[in-house]
Structure 1
Amino acid sequence: MEPIQASGYTVYFNNDCYVWLYENVKPEMYSKLFIIVDSNTATHCLPLFLQQLETDVVIEVIELEPGEINKNIDTCIQVWHTLAELECDRKGLIINLGGGVVTDLGGFVASTFKRGIDFINIPTSLLAMVDAAVGGKTGVDIGALKNQVGLISNPKTVLVDTTYLGTLPSEEIRSGFAEMLKHGLILDAEYWNTVVAITNLINDDLDGAVKQSIYIKNEIVLKDPTEKNIRKKLNFGHTLGHAIESYCLENDDKKTLLHGEAIAIGMILESYISMEKGMLSETEYNSIKKVLIGIYEKVIFTPKDIEGILKMLIHDKKNEFGNIQFVLLESIGSAVINKNISNALIHNAFKDYLN
């Protein structure tokens, strides 16, 4: 597959990834190579990666505990200490080999250690391939509040080898698939139809769709790298989705949701709100809801849960001057930003979702 040119770096695919590493990770360029993994990617992906990696640079592996719950500043402190103990200098290179937690946290660690050292993202989950690893966003959570501390810092390159998708359980594939569906909803109706038609989530169709998803996100980021305007479209489904994800993470009586599972619910709710605001047609809303309900298991929310989720909304990063900003749909393939919504309309959206 042809590479994609991003802002200051290039996204390479499959075999081209290892050609790039061979040509660019050399002792005269980097003093040491630090591979950040979690315990899952250490088991399932690191052996595959090391078989392909050809370099004379000294390699150190830093292993993290997996899961969103560990994407915090305490983990960063541990990694910073480890880098210092392993004598990482300004010419050290970090490779983030993992899902969104590893690429978000690893990118933040690299961008702040010694005021910034080079890092490469090698996403191993579908979610990280089509979303987290591309676009330069790095950061960590504060408690259950997602991505509250971070910065936009571009990697040296992003290397996407879809072979790693074969290491994932089906629920992780479905989680990443939500972001692909989102890309179609906000920008490209034809792509939405293409993705909806993919019934087997491990096949050649998915391979090509991954590249197209990265292309769609990259085109938006190139026009608005610091999220002042149209990049906010990428947050469709995330205003309520992040609040749902955080609420479920914080409450022991709720099942912890994967990112894409929460975002799928958020997209249904925000599509309903779009319809009620007279923007999205009822036919398109019903189509969106049918697709998402068909892929993602419905989650039951009590009135108490919904009130707790609404309280979480105040922490959304798009908020300005105390106003909660939503991304809504005009149609499948077209989104608008900076829309204010009443709590009553959100309650109605939950009622429709639960019915």
Structure 2
Amino acid sequence: MNSITTSNYLIHFNTTCYQEINTHLKAVNYSKIFVLVDQNTHEYCLPQFLSNLETDLNIEIIEIEAGEVNKSIETCSGVWNALSELEADRKSLMINLGGGVITDLGGFVASTFKRGISFIQVPTTLLAMVDASIGGKTGVDLGHLKNQIGVINTSEMVLVDTSFLKTLPENQMRSGLAEMLKHGLIYSQDYWNKFTTLEKSHTDDLDELIYESIEIKNSIVEKDPHENNLRKTLNYGHTLGHAIESYYLSNPSKTPLLHGEAIAIGMILATYISTKLTGFSKDECNKIKDTILTIFGQPKISEEDIIPIIDLLKFDKKNEHGKIYFVLLEAYGNSKINCQVENNLILEAFKYYNS
């Protein structure tokens, strides 16, 4: 697979990854390398990654605990302190080896330590490959509120080695599929249609779909890097999806949902709302619901949980001037941004989801 060029960096794939990073390490005079991992990527991905690195530089490993609950300023403080104690300087390089939590948090830590050090993203989950590591968004949650603190800052390069996907449990693979499905809805019905016959989410079948998904996201980000207009379409399903994810994360009586599981629900809700406000086909909405539920199942959202979820919408980072904005669909590949939605229609959408 050919490398994908963005205006600020390159995205490399599989064997090309290691050729490119080794060339880069020889060309740039870094003082030291820091690799950020969690306990899972430390065990399952780090040995393979290090075995492909060719450098005489000192490499330090910094490990954080896995899971969205650790995507916090407190964790950042721990990593900043570790960098300081290990004598990182402005010429240090940080390599973020992991899923969306690692790439989001690691990118933010690198972007803010000593006012910014270089970093490279090495996503190891499907979600991080097709979404979190692409486009320069970095940041952390504020308590249970998603992605409230962060900066947009691009990495030196992104290395997508799909062999890391063999280490993932099935639910993590499904979580990444949600963002790929979203790319089909907002950008290309042809791409969406490829998922209606997808029987299993395993690496060999997915390589081409991953590549195409990254191309779609990159093409949108390149046109609107700071999310003033077009890039907002990438938030399809995320307004309610993030609220659902935050609610399940903060409620001790609930089993937390993975990001993609919550976004899958959010996309069904947004698609139903689209049939009411922007003229999206009701028949296609039902097909989309069936496809998503076939992949993700249907976790029920009880009636008493819906109002607290709606209350969380006021914290959505896309809000402006106190107004909550949704991305809706007019047709496949044709989105409408900055749509306001009444609460009674949101309640109706939850009823449709649960039916």
Given the two structures, how large is their TM-score scaled by the length of structure 1?
0.98
The question of whether the paired residues in 2 share the 8 Å contact of 1:27 and 1:57 is answered with no
1:127 paired residue number:
127
2:217 paired residue number:
217
Q: Which amino acid aligns with 1:17?
A: C
CA distance 1:197–1:203, shift in 2 (3 Å): farther
SS of the aligned residue for 2:194 comes to: helix
1:323 paired residue number:
323
Show the 5 A alignment for 1:1-355. Answer: 1-26=1-26, 29-355=29-355
SS of the aligned residue for 2:95 comes to: strand
User: Structure 2 unaligned runs (5+)?
Assistant: none
The question of whether the paired residues in 2 share the 8 Å contact of 1:284 and 1:331 is answered with no
Q: In structure 2, how many angstroms separate the alpha carbons of the residues matched to 1:56 and 1:270?
A: 51
| CA deviation vs aligned residue, 1:277-316 (integer Å, no higher than 9, x gap) | 2521111101100001111121222222001000100000
Q: In structure 2, how many angstroms separate the alpha carbons of the residues matched to 1:195 and 1:299?
A: 21
Alpha-carbon RMSD: 1.0
Q: Which amino acid aligns with 2:135?
A: G
**How far apart are 1:27 and its partner, in Å?**
8.6
Identity value in percent: 57
SS of the aligned residue for 1:195 comes to: coil
Aligned length: 355
Q: In structure 1, how many angstroms separate the alpha carbons of the residues matched to 2:230 and 2:38?
A: 33
Q: In structure 2, how many angstroms separate the alpha carbons of the residues matched to 1:251 and 1:262?
A: 14
Q: In structure 2, how many angstroms separate the alpha carbons of the residues matched to 1:278 and 1:49?
A: 47
**How far apart are 1:45 and its partner, in Å?**
0.5
The question of whether the paired residues in 2 share the 8 Å contact of 1:32 and 1:57 is answered with yes
| CA deviation vs aligned residue, 1:163-186 (integer Å, no higher than 9, x gap) | 000000000000000100000000
Q: In structure 2, how many angstroms separate the alpha carbons of the residues matched to 1:84 and 1:91?
A: 13
The question of whether the paired residues in 1 share the 8 Å contact of 2:97 and 2:122 is answered with yes
Given the two structures, how large is their TM-score scaled by the length of structure 2?
0.98
Q: In structure 2, how many angstroms separate the alpha carbons of the residues matched to 1:330 and 1:59?
A: 50
Q: In structure 2, how many angstroms separate the alpha carbons of the residues matched to 1:236 and 1:196?
A: 19
**How far apart are 1:57 and its partner, in Å?**
1.1
SS of the aligned residue for 1:252 comes to: coil
Using the TM superposition, name which of 4-13 and 233-242 deviates more: 4-13
Q: In structure 1, how many angstroms separate the alpha carbons of the residues matched to 2:195 and 2:111?
A: 34
